Structure 1
Amino acid sequence: MTKDSGAFRTIGELSKELNIKPHILRYWEDQFGMLQPLKRAGSRRHYRPEDVEMVKTINRLLNEEGYTIKGARKALTGRKTQPAKDVTPQASVASEGPMAPTVKEDNGVMLKELKTIRDRLSSALSQA
């Protein structure tokens, strides 16, 4: 019997569902302040649906995309919990993750466009 997607999950259930050992989930709680499952009597953890999505996102960043803990933390800082498939690294964390070459290319294109705009403005001001 599987739980409804909106149901709370214990650390054991989440561990089995996502194939992540419970001690890793507890470690991630320490490393990622935004991951705060409810703790009931005896410090039993209960993960809400948004906590489950956060764990999926953290797992994807660390184990699939190759981020460091520090880089994943920066990628998630200031964001509300989003489904794992919708979270993408921000340009400000490019040095921590695998997207650095793409960001440098984007910066080059952006710089070229800004220089073109500057030249047009300069030309317009000199004609005025």
Structure 2
Amino acid sequence: MEKEEGAFLTISELAGELGLPQHILRYWETRFPQLRPLQRSGNRRYYRPGDVALARHIHRLLNVEGFTVKGAQKALGEARRAATPAPPPPVDAPLSDAALLARLETIRADLARAIGA
């Protein structure tokens, strides 16, 4: 019986899908802090859809593309940093006149939309 897409997978189901022994997935959990399945009573692991996607990505990096564990860690870290938007400048940071004017125009437009809504 096959589970629906998005269902939680046990470690044995995920290991079977990836063609790996279960201890490899447990090892990956120690090396890739992003991989954190739910653990229920008796330390039974349940991989959420995000965990499954991450495990598939790690598997592809290590076993298909030939990365080392350290290289895969670096690749995942770079991908995460690239996906994270840069934080806005602190409020007390001095702005140039052009940047200040652009910021004030954005605030004016936001206020106009709020009043009009």
The TM-score, its normalising length taken from structure 2, stands at 0.66
Structure 1 runs, 4 residues or longer, greater than 6 Å off? none
Matches within 5 A, 1:27-46: 27-46=27-46
Identical counterparts, % of pairs: 57
The RMSD of aligned alpha carbons is 1.6
Deviations 1:6-54 (A, max 9, x none): 1000001111112111000000000000000000001100000110000
Tell which deviates more after alignment, 35-44 or 13-22: 13-22
For the residue of structure 2 that corresponds to 1:33, the secondary structure is coil
Quote the residue 2:21 is aligned against.
21
The TM-score, its normalising length taken from structure 1, stands at 0.60
Q: Distance in 2 between matches of 1:76 and 1:55?
A: 11
Q: Distance in 2 between matches of 1:38 and 1:5?
A: 18
In structure 1, stretches of 5+ residues that fail to align are: 81-128
Q: What is the identity, as a one-letter code, of the residue corresponding to 2:54?
A: M
Quote the residue 2:51 is aligned against.
51
Q: What is the identity, as a one-letter code, of the residue corresponding to 2:69?
A: I
Look at both structures and tell me which one has the larger radius of gyration over its CA atoms: 2
Q: What is the identity, as a one-letter code, of the residue corresponding to 2:70?
A: K
Q: Distance in 2 between matches of 1:17 and 1:68?
A: 21
